[in-house]
Chains A and B, each alone.
Chain A
Amino acid sequence: NAGVTQTPKFQVLKTGQSMTLQCAQDMNHEYMSWYRQDPGMGLRLIHYSVGAGITDQGEVPNGYNVSRSTTEDFPLRLLSAAPSQTSVYFCASSLGLAGGRTGELFFGEGSRLTVL
């Protein structure tokens, strides 16, 4: 199984440009989420989804949009890139906590974004 696949792995943008980070999972997980990881800040939740058609904001949602039209895909859109959005972005998916599950998050390999 591929697990969680993120594209692109690396991207350089200029301030004001927009782009979409793609995330796809093949494990039929209901839960998906996007985190950003910055030095000294750890992983911070941007947006999450508990199923197709349902999304909600996390800790740092400003400047980002998401949608969930299918169970498999959860793209993250940067509307107008700013240098403060330079970060490593991780997509993750999970089966959830119901039925005694651990809620384990399965992460992609990350997308490294630099905004000049």
Chain B
Amino acid sequence: QKEVEQDPGPLSVPEGAIVSLNCTYSNSAFQYFMWYRQYSRKGPELLMYTYSSGNKEDGRFTAQVDKSSKYISLFIRDSQPSDSATYLCAMCTGTASKLTFGTGTRLQVTL
């Protein structure tokens, strides 16, 4: 069983929809939780970062962490075609270089 599970998709939604992306994990030592966005043939870029359980909002993006359920989510409001990318959840125990990633969910936002 992988430490981090993520549905690979693909997920196709119309422009303006609310998107929900999720990951579950098994290692209770994970303390830091991140979402990276990766456009085709590019390196991943950090989108959201959270340390504790709860919600964190940044513009159209909301990251949610539930440590008791070992479950994290990313919500995208008013989705745009430019949001079309692969979204990777990532987490670590405390060593910045040692992130464990989910497999990534490919999102397509259509006009």
Using a CB–CB cutoff of 8 Å, the interface residues on chain A facing chain B are: 4, 31-33, 35, 40-45, 48-50, 58-59, 90, 92, 94-97, 101-105, 107-110
Decide if A94 touches B88 in the complex (CB within 8 Å).
Answer: no
Q: Could you show 17 A-B contacts with beta carbons less than 8 Å apart?
A: A41-B103, A42-B103, A43-B44, A43-B99, A59-B100, A90-B43, A92-B97, A94-B97, A95-B96, A97-B32, A97-B94, A97-B95, A102-B32, A102-B49, A103-B34, A107-B44, A108-B43
For the complex with contacts A42-B104, A45-B99, A96-B96, 6 further pairs of A-B residues with Cβ separation under 8 Å are A40-B8, A42-B102, A45-B100, A48-B98, A90-B43, A109-B42
Once the chains are docked, how many angstroms separate the CA of A48 from the CA of B92?
14
Decide if B99 touches A105 in the complex (CB within 8 Å).
Answer: yes
Chain A residues within an 8 Å CB radius of B94: 97
Decide if A110 touches B41 in the complex (CB within 8 Å).
Answer: yes
Decide if B8 touches A50 in the complex (CB within 8 Å).
Answer: no
Using a CB–CB cutoff of 8 Å, the interface residues on chain B facing chain A are: 4, 6, 8, 32, 34, 36, 41-46, 49, 88, 90, 92, 94-104
Once the chains are docked, how many angstroms separate the CA of A78 from the CA of B110?
41
- With most chain B CB atoms within 10 A of its CB, the pick from A58, A90, A97 is A97
Chain B residues within an 8 Å CB radius of A95: 96
